[in-house]
Amino acid sequence: MKTDHTPATDQDAFAAVADAMDRAHALARRYVQTLPERRVAAQGTPAELAAALDEPLPEQASDPAGVVEEWFRRAEPGIVASAGPRFFGYVVGGATPAAVAGDWLATALDQCSGFYPAAPAAAETELVVVRWLLDLFGLPASWSGTLTGGATMSNLTGLAAARQWVGARLGFDPAADGLGGRPPIPVITNTMTHSSARKALSTLGLGRTSLHEARTIDGRVSLADLEQKLAAIDGPAIIMATAGEVNSGHSDDINAVADLRDRHPGGAWLHVDGAFGLFAGISPALRHHVAGVERADSIASDLHKWLNVPYGAGVAFVRDAAIHKSAFAIPAPYIANSEGWNSDDYGPEMSRRFRALAAWCALKALGRAGYREMVERCVANAQQFAEWIEPQPDLELLTAPELNIVCFRFTQGGDDLDAFNRQAVTAIQRDGRAFVSGTTWGGKAAIRAAFDHWATTSEDVQILCDVVRSGR
Ligand SMILES: Cc1ncc(COP(=O)(O)O)c(C=O)c1O
């Protein structure tokens, strides 16, 4: 049906794309240019924000450019400037100039990445990005890798390969045959293993409540407990280690964990969740935090955190490409027989967006030296904040910050300090100048700040200090 907004000719149709992009571009330009001054907290209650957008499904067509503008106007109070330099909650990176531009271009190009014939430039770009990342992190060039939607999917990818490896040792193919009727595959984690890795285990049918959990001391796995847990397992096992625990930034002693893996008579697969901690490997001054990571069998990391590319990007590395492929490759006549590398064979998705372009542009624009400088600056920012906390009479550091996370708490504020600290998180967020998030550490309510934004300055850290001071 022809409507007022249905273009008459192909040329009109694509002119409409360009017009809508121009309008989006104008909005986005204004947005990114004002990021440093924007509030880092939403304005309005969930009910108000929902009401601002809610309406019945439109029956009639509208002007595409106008639609974009209308959405922005109605949704703006709910847009958090998490891409700005003072969002210290969770572990949220920004997006470098080249990364934003690359991601925009990827949207316009709309490549169906997944199958080589549909998107050969995307596939070749992804292979280069994987190779560059292996090099950046000091991992062997021979490893297999694929870009994912984030560290959760990267954990799933690495653990799917681990499941294949254990299955092969026990004489079956989990991807083909499933796990029904088989004895449980033993997985050893530490008690602070990230929830995303647990989610991946449950998705893979490995379960998240039947884990063998080794104790954690100050954010690191207890090697003695890990050894004991491993000794109680008869056959092959999966060990999960962490490079960068989310509350403390602390990393397991990966070399020591790999030694235990090597000594286990039944054999074991070592998966490392290095969502942000892997980035320590970029800096000679910080590399010791992840020493031995190249001895892992699979590694998960994020690109939308410390690589500072837009959301929806992570990477999974697997030492053995054949095992990696055996977890995901599946015959489908309509996409069979293609030449070239199909990412579809190496991850849980089939069709996917061209996420490699943002990463390619980001890596090309900053280079190894730029990323090294950025990672070191983020760690210096964390150090500056920790040094400010230390002498404050009513604040304490809950653990020594080693990388880019600072975990702290108010020590004065009435009888119920946990409630006081939780309220302080809300008060700091509401201030709108800097965002921190809450957690628990050692059973106590705590506050954490993560530093992984490419443009955060020492002045931004000072503003965070001021906001924390006024947060009580
Ligand atoms: C150690 C660790 N693993 C995994 C994740 C999950 O990453 P994503 O939310 O990007 O999937 C996070 C997120 O903070 C993390 O810190």
Which tens digit of pLDDT belongs to each residue from 12-44?
A: 888 988 999 999 999 999 999 999 999 999 898
- Please tell me the distance from the alpha carbon of residue 456 to that of residue 87, in angstroms, as a whole number: 9
* 93 domain residue, yes or no: no
**Minimal-distance CA residue to ligand 1 atom 16:** 246
Whether the CB of 150 sits within 6 Å of ligand 1:
yes
pLDDT tens, residue by residue, 198-251: 999 999 999 887 789 999 999 999 999 999 999 999 999 999 999 999 999 999
Cα(10) to centroid(ligand 1), Å: 43
* 265 domain residue, yes or no: yes
Strands 298-302, 216-217: pairing kind: unpaired
Q: Which residue would you say has higher pLDDT here, 88 or 330? A: 88
Whether the CB of 91 sits within 6 Å of ligand 1:
yes
Q: Give the domain CATH number at 442.
A: 3.90.1150.170
Instruction: State whether 69 and 106 are in the same domain.
Output: no
- As a whole number, mean pLDDT of residues 428-442 equals 96
The whole-number pLDDT of residue 333 equals 77
Instruction: State whether 126 and 250 are in the same domain.
Output: yes
* 96 domain residue, yes or no: no
- How many structural domains compose the chain? 3
Instruction: State whether 343 and 267 are in the same domain.
Output: yes
Instruction: State whether 272 and 352 are in the same domain.
Output: yes
Whether the CB of 302 sits within 6 Å of ligand 1:
yes
The domain boundary residue, chosen from 44, 78, 112: 78
**Minimal-distance CA residue to ligand 1 atom 12:** 275
Instruction: State whether 246 and 283 are in the same domain.
Output: yes
Confidence of residue 2 (pLDDT cuts 50, 70, 90): very low
The DSSP code for 250 is: -
Whether the CB of 275 sits within 6 Å of ligand 1:
yes
Average the pLDDT over each of 160-169, 307-316, 339-348 and give the range with the smallest value. 339-348
* 422 domain residue, yes or no: yes
pLDDT tens, residue by residue, 141-165: 999 999 999 999 999 999 999 999 9
Confidence of residue 6 (pLDDT cuts 50, 70, 90): low
Instruction: State whether 356 and 423 are in the same domain.
Output: no
Contact between 148 and 157 under an 8 Å Cβ cutoff? The reply is: yes
The domain boundary residue, chosen from 330, 362, 394: 362
* 87 domain residue, yes or no: no
Strands 444-450, 405-410: pairing kind: antiparallel
Q: Which residues pair with 316 in a beta bridge?
A: 146, 300
Contact between 456 and 378 under an 8 Å Cβ cutoff? The reply is: yes
Q: Which residues pair with 448 in a beta bridge?
A: 407, 437
What's the mean pLDDT when you consider all of the chain? 95
- Whether residue 1 is predicted with pLDDT greater than 50 in this model: the reply is no
Instruction: State whether 255 and 398 are in the same domain.
Output: no
Q: Give the domain CATH number at 252.
A: 3.40.640.10
- Tracing tokens 């790999």 back to the chain, one arrives at 258
Instruction: State whether 129 and 230 are in the same domain.
Output: yes
* 194 domain residue, yes or no: yes
Residues spanned by the domain of 150: 101-362
